[in-house]
Amino acid sequence: MSRPELVAPPEIYYGDIEAKKYTNNTRVQQIQADMTYRALELLNLPQDEPAFLLDIGCGSGLSGEILDEEGYNWVGVDIAPSMLEVALEREVEGDLFLHDIGQGFGFRPGSFDGAISISVIQWLLNAETSHPTSSPPHRLTRFFTTLHSALRNPSRAVLQFYPTSDDQIQLITSIAQKAGFGGGVVVDYPNSKKAKKVFLCLFVGSGGAQQVPKGLDGEEVDGDSQAQFEKRREKFSSRGKNGRRKNIKDKDWILKKKELYRQRGKEGVPRDSKYTARKRRPVF
Amino acid sequence: MVRLITHNLLACHAKGCTTNNFPLKLQDVVVEVREAEFNADFLRGFLPRIEWTALVNAAKELGDTSLPLEMPEMVDDEFLKNLHHVLLEIHVDEGAMVCPNCGHKYPIMNGIPNMLLAEHEIG
Ligand SMILES: C[S@@+](CC[C@H](N)C(=O)[O-])C[C@H]1O[C@@H](n2cnc3c(N)ncnc32)[C@H](O)[C@@H]1O
Ligand SMILES: [Zn+2]
């Protein structure tokens, strides 16, 4: 199967039909959710402080729904109107913008406590026209410089993406560095064809102990990433029930929202579980 | 959905538009009020990030005059409740945001502002 970003521009590829297909696919939902949780771990936000986050390429809200569940306020931007429409239907709580991240952001300096991006920035590696502002390096530069200024000092941005080569990773990290970011690439399960995931973990300022976190590895077995993630999460959650983050939304509030979604016939509302409204802790 | 919390962070990002490009002027707006969960800690943490005059004026344009003209030094419950409402519960569904400097108009449809620039406006 050919990579989506080679098939058509994003706002065309994610048209009405693909937007629905993508969003309703339970496997996609699970993978995007897992990567969002992992991105939040890598974001390493200060405990007990509420945060205002940016979801870059928020799409139909699969990543944003996790931010809602975790009690964050957030803003989402995406270039595909059909994806945003699905996000509206699913009633995510973030503010949504139709926006091409390759054109840069207009957010005031220090607007966000952190940013995540799940399965998006590989799209910036493809030029759509011959106009100079549409060359990948130009768009990446615009993107990273304006993102850097939109973030608070110190803070982090964690961007999971699908590179096709080491050259692409090299290009992206070097432009991010020129834009002022520290940090680097974290690769989870590098030896597993299926479970391997690349996260660009970027730092603004010194940000505490700003060392590039280690990737996950080892026991990961192809096709078993699910169990691995769950086990790992359980471990963190048992690390102490005190110090529950204050901005975490009330369990009652979340259950109320979910009930509301169900009544409106929303598909794919996560089941209530012992994980609902539960605190997740960073790994390192 | 645009709420004033994001409007307050948003400047024009058109090419060469770097001064007097904030706040974007709200135009022909249709608003809707939706309940959001109150969180005093979030509001306190967010307060230093707010451009106060821009917020007070934007709220006024949307018909809410509950905020004091100056950011108060003492933050009490009533103030936080009003701030919560202004920042997080008033949604702009339709209308536009217009740059006070270059005049670029960012239309808002179905709660979603269109921030896309034409090729000649890209920095
Ligand atoms: C695989 S989806 C991921 C969506 C969401 N983050 C998730 O986890 O489900 C990739 C998204 O990136 C968006 N995208 C691609 N290029 C973009 C650009 N230049 N600006 C903004 N969004 C873009 C697409 O429209 C699409 O919604
Ligand atoms: Zn302007």
Q: What tens digit of pLDDT does each residue of A140-182 get?
A: 999 999 999 999 999 999 999 999 999 999 999 999 999 999 9
Which residues of chain A are within 8 Å of residue B89 when distances are taken between CB atoms?
none
pLDDT at A236: 39
pLDDT band at A198 (very low <50, low <70, confident <90, very high): very high
Distance CA A80, CA A60 (A): 9
Q: What is the pLDDT of residue B14?
A: 97
In the predicted structure, residue B2 carries a pLDDT above the cut 50: yes
Dig out the tokens for B1 from the structure. Answer: 């959905």
Secondary structure class of B97 (helix, strand, coil): strand
Radius of gyration of chain B (CA): 15
Work out the average pLDDT over B79-98: 98
| Residue A198, SS3 per DSSP | strand
CB contact set of A174 (below 8 Å; sequence gap of 6+): none
Q: What is the pLDDT, as a whole number, of residue A254?
A: 59
Q: How high is the pLDDT of residue A127?
A: 80
pLDDT of residue A181: 96
Contacts of B38 in chain A (CB under 8 A): none
Strand order in the sheet with A52-56: A95-98, A73-78, A52-56, A112-118, A151-161, A197-204, A182-188
Contact B42 A50 (CB under 8 A): yes
What lies within 8 Å, CB to CB, of B13 at 6+ separation is A103, A104, A105, A106, A146, B115, B117, B123
CA distance A123 to chain B (A): 16
Any residues with CB less than 8 A from the CB of A95 and at least 6 apart, and which?
A74, A75, A76, B1, B2, B3, B5, B6
Q: Which atom of ligand 1 is nearest to the CA of A19?
A: 27
The tokens describing A233, both together, are 């999460």
Distance CA A51, CA A43 (A): 11
Q: Which residue's alpha carbon is nearest to atom 25 within ligand 1?
A: A80
The percent of residues in chain B predicted with pLDDT above 90, rounded, is: 99
Over pLDDT 70: what percentage of chain B?
100
In which residue are the tokens 């794919």 written? A268
**Mean pLDDT, residues A44-48:** 89
Structure tokens at B63: 């018909």
CATH code of the domain covering residue B52? 2.20.25.10
Mean pLDDT of A3-20: 94
**A203 within 8 A of A181, measured Cβ to Cβ:** yes
Give me the residue from A85, A106, A253 closest to B13, CB to CB. Answer: A106
Interface probe with B: pick from A48, A73, A246, most Cβ of B within 10 Å: A73
Q: Is the pLDDT of residue A271 over 60?
A: no
Which has more pLDDT, A283 or A58? A58
pLDDT reading at B61 higher than 60? yes
C-beta of residue B92 within 8 angstroms of C-beta of residue B30: yes
- Counted residue by residue, chain A has a size of 284
Written as six digits, the tokens of A267 are: 């598909």
Q: Is residue A83's pLDDT more than 90? A: yes
Residue B95, classed as helix, strand or coil, is strand
pLDDT of residue A211: 82
Res. A77: pLDDT tops 70? yes
Burial class (CB in 10 A: 0-12, 13-18, 19+), A183: buried
Q: Which domain holds residue B94?
A: 2-121
Burial of A65 (0-12, 13-18, 19+ CB in 10 A): buried
Question: For A107-116, A232-241, A250-259, B63-72, which range has the lowest pLDDT when averaged over its residues?
Answer: A232-241
Residue A174's CB is within 10 A of a number of other CB atoms, namely: 12
The ligand minimizing its distance to the Cα of A55 is 1
Average pLDDT, chain A: 83
Cβ within 8 Å, pair A88-B110: yes
From CA A142, how far away is CA A148, in angstroms rounded?
10
Q: Cα distance from A189 to chain B (closest Cα, Å)?
A: 36
Distance between CA A82 and CA A16 in Å, rounded? Answer: 5
**Which residues line ligand 1 at a C-beta cut-off of 6 Å?**
A 10, 14, 32, 57-59, 62-63, 77-80, 83, 99-102, 118-120, 123
Q: Which atom of ligand 1 is nearest to the CA of A117?
A: 6
Helices (H), chain B: 4-7, 40-46, 52-61, 77-84
Amino acid at A231: K
Q: Rounded to a whole number, what is the distance in Å from the CA of A55 to chain B's nearest CA?
A: 13
What is residue A8's three-state secondary structure?
A: coil
Q: Are A34 and A229 in contact (CB under 8 A)?
A: yes
Domain count of the fold of chain B: 1
Model pTM? 0.87
CA distance B24 to chain A (A): 11
- What residue of A is the nearest CA neighbor of B4? A95
Closest CA to A80 of A176, A16, A155: A16
Which member of A50, A100, A105 has the closest CB to residue B41? A50
Q: Over the stretch A223-270, which tens digit does the pLDDT of each residue have?
A: 444 444 444 444 333 333 333 343 445 556 556 665 655 554 444 455
Number of the ligand closest to the Cα of B15: 2
